[in-house]
Structure 1
Amino acid sequence: MKEHDKKPINIWKIITIVILAVFFLFIAYPLLLVLKKSIIDPNSGSFTLSYFQKFFTKKFYWIGLINSFKVTIVSTLIAVVIGLPIAYLMRKVKIKGNGILEIFIIISYLSPPFIGAYAWIQLLGRSGVVTKFINSVFGMNFNGIYGFLGIVLVMSLQSFPLVYIYISGALKNMDNSLNEAAESLGYTSVERLFKIIIPLVMPTVLASALLVFMRVIADFGTPMLIGEGYKTMPVLIYNQYMSEVGGDDGFAAALCVIIIAVTIILFLIQRIIAKRYSFSMTALKPMIQEKAKGIKNITAHLFVYFTVFLAILPQIVVIYTSFKKNRGGQVFVKGFSLDSYKATLLSKNNSVILNTYKLGIIAIIIIIVLGVLISYLTVRKSNILTSILDTITMFPFIIPGSVLGISYLFAFNKSPLLLSGTALIMIVSFVIRRIPYTIRSSTAIIGQISPSIEEAAISLGETEVGAFTKVVIPMMMPGVIAGAIMSWITTISELSSSIILYTTKTQTLTVSIYTEVIRGNYGNAAAYSTVLTLTSIVSLLIFFKVTGKKELSI
């Protein structure tokens, strides 16, 4: 063959195939094994639906799915009812301390829900401070907020910031001249809210509500800690797989398939709604904060302050509890001390903080590299392979963490792919779980970079790869780093998959907090939680510094 007949190697196609193979290995392959285990009899090897029949014919099991829907629907509705007016008031009215309040809201969102559950146990549990006060003052026999009400309380307060962030961004892009036109026609402020503002932001409301729905239905830590007898699907899956009396892998796999089917349907609904009702607005005249007067001003401030206080209260309780004097981490006595920190951070065999930072940093580096490459390929090198890659990388966004953890143990527990029990499987789990967010943010950034800039570099003698590394990446870096910081915060807060995959050598802060709460060592749990909260706060401040922003957008 002549030299000029040889086709040049397409480096981008090779990169696409390699990344696609990695994601098939760590997403498609484990999930296909879950499906296989759910429909194949382990003894005969024949096809069976007995596991699904067992689920739908026994109330003990299917009631878990009903419970999940009840908790999720109520929590989502409350989150919207709280998040929408908070976003509107923060955009429309001059609220004193607006910047600090927004940081508090973001911190409450970034904090793991199960920490909120632990904090509310301290307040409204059977021996909680508020519970004792209510029972002694009013002569009641209040037995705590365990069960349905407790889960809804925690998830609503932890989820409304997500609705707030989305709607606040939508209001920022809204043209206020529409609102002013309605005012000139005689509409009152309440009428304008329901007939102009809410219809305009409704697509964003629905999108954020569906995201909250998927987040709540997949949550494991909160119902496990505060649900008690009120079992939800993630708890059923965990208990069935990890049961000390012999879990049933096949039945656990069937439960995983059911919850995956539910979340996929929800995701498709979200996509349909987004395409059908989406529209864009240009804020030619953006909404301006105005100082309210009289009772309106007082009501607005009280509502915002009280809601934000309830949202940030778990973090306050955790930090306060971490400094309380205790005996063995379980019994609190009068006074303050550093006992909890001595028992955790200064213990001889404490590696959980180092594990958290080490595994998290490695995962974030991989997330940045893969996220930038995948977003570039899907935007600039669009073809059938990159379309498949774009689709498969979105799957972890809708797969509950506990399901992913179990699927990894199914797939990687024997040679030649023996990863279970290693740090590598934890890192892979973090990467797969959090990479969709970085891909999404990086794709938005690349979309803002004109292809003509790359073309100019190539016309000056640079290769395609050179133009990408020397021109595109430097232009992307500020946004990518900002997205990576947010991914970092959510990575170090990961529990659902970590609780299934960890070993004593790879135990992280979130796993330690969970296990300490289960053992009743609330002092130790508070110390670990404080470290996690402070890490999130510092990371958030770095995010604001890097981006130059004073608010968060998702």
Structure 2
Amino acid sequence: MKIKKFELWSGITVLFLGLFLLFLIYPMFGILRQAVISKDGDFTLKEFVKFFSQSYYSKTIYNSFKVSIAITALTLLIGIPLSYFYSFYHVKGAKFLFVASILCCMSAPFIGAYAWILLLGRSGIITKFIRDVFGVKIGNIYGFKGILLVQALKLFPLVFVYMNGAFKNIDKTLMEASENMGCTGIRRFFQIVMNLSMPTILAAALLVFMRAFADFGTPLLIGEGYRTFPVEIYNQYLGENGTDHNFAAAISIIAILVTALVFFLQQWGTGKYKFSISALHPIEKKSLKGLKGALIYLYSYLLIAVALLPQIYIIYLSFRNCDQAVFKPGYSLANYQMAVKKLLMRSITNTTILGVGSLALIIVCAILIAYLVVRRSNVWNHTIDTMSMLPYIMPGSVIGIALVIAFGKQPLALTGTIWILLISFVIRRMPYTIRSATATLQQIPISIEEAAISLGASKLKTFSLITVPMMSNGIISGAILSWVSIVTELSSSIILYNNKNITLTMSAYVAISRGNYGLAAAFSAILTVVTAISLVIYLAVSKSEDIKL
């Protein structure tokens, strides 16, 4: 009887299955057990019955879906045109626009929403200015519209960065052929460009939806009566008015099932656009002239300026004199001097170590998983792909608690160490790079790899020297977003951090929770600068033509 040879990729599949079972499924089993096992140790579904039988709770599903779908649609509406202008035209200051767009989506949770309250709240400076000067009441930032505005302006860079990678993979000969057949302008954009980019559009839409659905910071601060899934989970786990961990666990399970359904719908949609293209002749950017050029410049810079406004305002506030929650006239470095005394250097060091370490692991895992899913499609590899998305669709606080339950005791006691934060960051932020790398690999013809193998190259050499470099655009795009989300991670860190492994984002959060907004603004401003510097260095080292500064 002939024994089937155990291939390298089969071993990698087994490895990833084992890792996900240990660091994801096993911790999640603790959450599931908490949802169906009462405090007396009996099996029960009463927590689920409680959720669906009371509209006060079940309405959060509708609210979360409504606001998340609206955010996704708006980010696509504003992000795709920006990426198209960036990729197809010579826009002066394009490198600045790219970096600024990344900074738009890296504002620290809580304080970013707080900045919008100071700008557009009932007594916000913009609200008061328009009312006093023009006599117009523009409403305020609170409720559904406020969540939509804040989240769309924060998340559209996800679409922008992903679409840059997709547009770069379009061969200009396809554009020229369509033009020769009379398909130009807006018609060509929708019929050719959009269809060729659809796998990436769906990948970006999924990530925006998941992030909007799982966010609790923005709805918590400005939602007021507009209650969402994550806010209810957060309140049940960590609320000041009493907690119910069993009920929160049940809500978490419902959230996982709902968002898993969304993920499978996205997978089905992506399957409708299975094709491959190779940009042997990259798109040549056109010059901007006349009214068309002026409108493109106006759209691009105005959008970035509005989205970046909270960041700029936070930096401004960091130099204002402040007495706890009250900003006073005058400017000084008092907030920064206080930050130095409040673990600033330790926070920067931990942020850098966790960021670099997590990103390195994410890139390696994302490349391997993308190849398994696209090139070696089977039920086990698709299971890995599905499991890799689970942490993204769950609130971070749930992940943090699950890890504490799983690794809070021997034989694998990791609670309180930097390793448990590293695990949390990797499993929560890997989907950015996986989705981007997968979407890019789907567009690379397998015939290129087959040609290399037929010429004598080994499968491993073909993978490392041919496939991976061709995936670089998608890998870089996803890795940038993974990096930004890692250094601004808050929801799981709240559960897992201590003074030894505190990060810049956590330092800002602690300052906010203690009512010291000047100190929080200083930490957030430093986080912005550190992220901007690291982003410039990373993009320069990447040597990508349209990203290198």
Matching residue of 2:23 = 26
Alpha carbons of structure 1 residues 549 and 114: separation in structure 2 relative to 1, 3 Å = farther
Tell me, what secondary structure is at the counterpart of 1:345?
A: helix
Alpha carbons of structure 1 residues 208 and 113: separation in structure 2 relative to 1, 3 Å = farther
5+ long unaligned stretches in structure 2: none
Q: CA deviation at 1:79?
A: 0.8
- Whether 2:502 is the aligned partner of 1:510: answer no
Asked if structure 1 preserves the Cα contact closer than 8 Å seen for 2:494 and 2:506, the reply is: yes
Matching residue of 2:165 = 169
- Whether 2:307 is the aligned partner of 1:297: answer no
Asked if structure 1 preserves the Cα contact closer than 8 Å seen for 2:171 and 2:281, the reply is: yes
What is the rounded CA distance, in whole Å, between the counterparts of 1:16 and 1:175 in structure 2?
A: 33
Matching residue of 1:404 = 399
Asked if structure 1 preserves the Cα contact closer than 8 Å seen for 2:118 and 2:125, the reply is: yes
Tell me, what secondary structure is at the counterpart of 2:286?
A: coil
Q: CA deviation at 1:72?
A: 0.8
**Residue 100 of structure 1, aligned match among 96, 109, 113:** 96
Alpha carbons of structure 1 residues 433 and 137: separation in structure 2 relative to 1, 3 Å = same
Tell me, what secondary structure is at the counterpart of 2:142?
A: coil
What is the rounded CA distance, in whole Å, between the counterparts of 2:161 and 2:146 in structure 1?
A: 24
Q: CA deviation at 1:69?
A: 1.2
Matching residue of 2:38 = 41
Matching residue of 2:115 = 119
Tell me, what secondary structure is at the counterpart of 2:498?
A: coil
Amino acid at match of 1:193: F
Tell me, what secondary structure is at the counterpart of 2:328?
A: strand
Matching residue of 1:4 = none
**Residue 90 of structure 1, aligned match among 82, 86, 92:** 86
TM-score by length of 1: 0.82
Asked if structure 1 preserves the Cα contact closer than 8 Å seen for 2:111 and 2:512, the reply is: no
Matching residue of 1:229 = 225
What is the rounded CA distance, in whole Å, between the counterparts of 1:129 and 1:218 in structure 2?
A: 30
Amino acid at match of 1:218: A
Asked if structure 2 preserves the Cα contact closer than 8 Å seen for 1:147 and 1:229, the reply is: yes
Q: CA deviation at 1:525?
A: 1.7
Q: CA deviation at 1:78?
A: 1.0
Matching residue of 2:338 = 343
Matching residue of 2:186 = 190
1:44-55 to structure 2, matched below 5 A, reads: 44-46=41-43, 48-55=44-51
What is the rounded CA distance, in whole Å, between the counterparts of 2:103 and 2:91 in structure 1?
A: 19
Amino acid at match of 1:25: L
Matching residue of 1:548 = 543
- Whether 2:147 is the aligned partner of 1:151: answer yes
Asked if structure 2 preserves the Cα contact closer than 8 Å seen for 1:16 and 1:377, the reply is: yes
Amino acid at match of 1:489: V
1:481-520 to structure 2, matched below 5 A, reads: 487-520=482-515
Asked if structure 1 preserves the Cα contact closer than 8 Å seen for 2:350 and 2:502, the reply is: yes
- Whether 2:143 is the aligned partner of 1:135: answer no
Deviates more, 1:175-184 or 1:160-169: 175-184
Amino acid at match of 1:434: R
Q: CA deviation at 1:130?
A: 0.9
- Whether 2:427 is the aligned partner of 1:432: answer yes
| Percentage of matched positions with identical amino acids | 46
**Residue 528 of structure 1, aligned match among 523, 526, 536:** 523
Tell me, what secondary structure is at the counterpart of 2:197?
A: helix
What is the rounded CA distance, in whole Å, between the counterparts of 2:106 and 2:125 in structure 1?
A: 25
Matching residue of 2:305 = 309
1:3-14 to structure 2, matched below 5 A, reads: none
Q: CA deviation at 1:236?
A: 0.8
Alpha carbons of structure 1 residues 141 and 336: separation in structure 2 relative to 1, 3 Å = same
Q: CA deviation at 1:376?
A: 8.4
What is the rounded CA distance, in whole Å, between the counterparts of 1:190 and 1:482 in structure 2?
A: 26
Q: CA deviation at 1:431?
A: 2.5
Tell me, what secondary structure is at the counterpart of 1:280?
A: coil
Asked if structure 1 preserves the Cα contact closer than 8 Å seen for 2:322 and 2:517, the reply is: no
Q: CA deviation at 1:70?
A: 1.6
Alpha carbons of structure 1 residues 189 and 456: separation in structure 2 relative to 1, 3 Å = closer
5+ long unaligned stretches in structure 1: 1-6, 459-463
Alpha carbons of structure 1 residues 488 and 94: separation in structure 2 relative to 1, 3 Å = closer
What is the rounded CA distance, in whole Å, between the counterparts of 2:521 and 2:53 in structure 1?
A: 42
Number of equivalenced pairs: 539
Amino acid at match of 1:530: A
- Whether 2:350 is the aligned partner of 1:355: answer yes
Tell me, what secondary structure is at the counterpart of 1:277?
A: coil
Alpha carbons of structure 1 residues 506 and 547: separation in structure 2 relative to 1, 3 Å = closer
Alpha carbons of structure 1 residues 340 and 222: separation in structure 2 relative to 1, 3 Å = same
**Residue 239 of structure 1, aligned match among 231, 235, 238:** 235
Q: CA deviation at 1:84?
A: 1.9
Alpha carbons of structure 1 residues 163 and 475: separation in structure 2 relative to 1, 3 Å = closer
What is the rounded CA distance, in whole Å, between the counterparts of 1:175 and 1:10 in structure 2?
A: 35
Q: CA deviation at 1:349?
A: 8.5
What is the rounded CA distance, in whole Å, between the counterparts of 1:517 and 1:180 in structure 2?
A: 55
What is the rounded CA distance, in whole Å, between the counterparts of 1:232 and 1:24 in structure 2?
A: 29
Q: CA deviation at 1:192?
A: 3.5
Matching residue of 1:276 = 272
Asked if structure 2 preserves the Cα contact closer than 8 Å seen for 1:485 and 1:539, the reply is: no
Q: CA deviation at 1:62?
A: 1.5
Alpha carbons of structure 1 residues 190 and 487: separation in structure 2 relative to 1, 3 Å = closer
Q: CA deviation at 1:518?
A: 4.2
What is the rounded CA distance, in whole Å, between the counterparts of 1:537 and 1:117 in structure 2?
A: 20
Matching residue of 1:324 = 320
Amino acid at match of 1:289: K
Asked if structure 1 preserves the Cα contact closer than 8 Å seen for 2:416 and 2:497, the reply is: yes
Q: CA deviation at 1:136?
A: 2.3
Q: Deviations over 1:120-141 (max 9, x none)?
A: 1231123322122123224456
Q: CA deviation at 1:405?
A: 1.8
Matching residue of 2:57 = 61
- Whether 2:213 is the aligned partner of 1:217: answer yes
Alpha carbons of structure 1 residues 368 and 209: separation in structure 2 relative to 1, 3 Å = closer
Asked if structure 1 preserves the Cα contact closer than 8 Å seen for 2:408 and 2:414, the reply is: yes
Alpha carbons of structure 1 residues 91 and 370: separation in structure 2 relative to 1, 3 Å = closer
Asked if structure 2 preserves the Cα contact closer than 8 Å seen for 1:124 and 1:131, the reply is: yes
What is the rounded CA distance, in whole Å, between the counterparts of 2:300 and 2:344 in structure 1?
A: 44
What is the rounded CA distance, in whole Å, between the counterparts of 2:171 and 2:373 in structure 1?
A: 32
Alpha carbons of structure 1 residues 192 and 342: separation in structure 2 relative to 1, 3 Å = same
Amino acid at match of 1:529: S
Matching residue of 2:72 = 76
What is the rounded CA distance, in whole Å, between the counterparts of 1:73 and 1:172 in structure 2?
A: 27
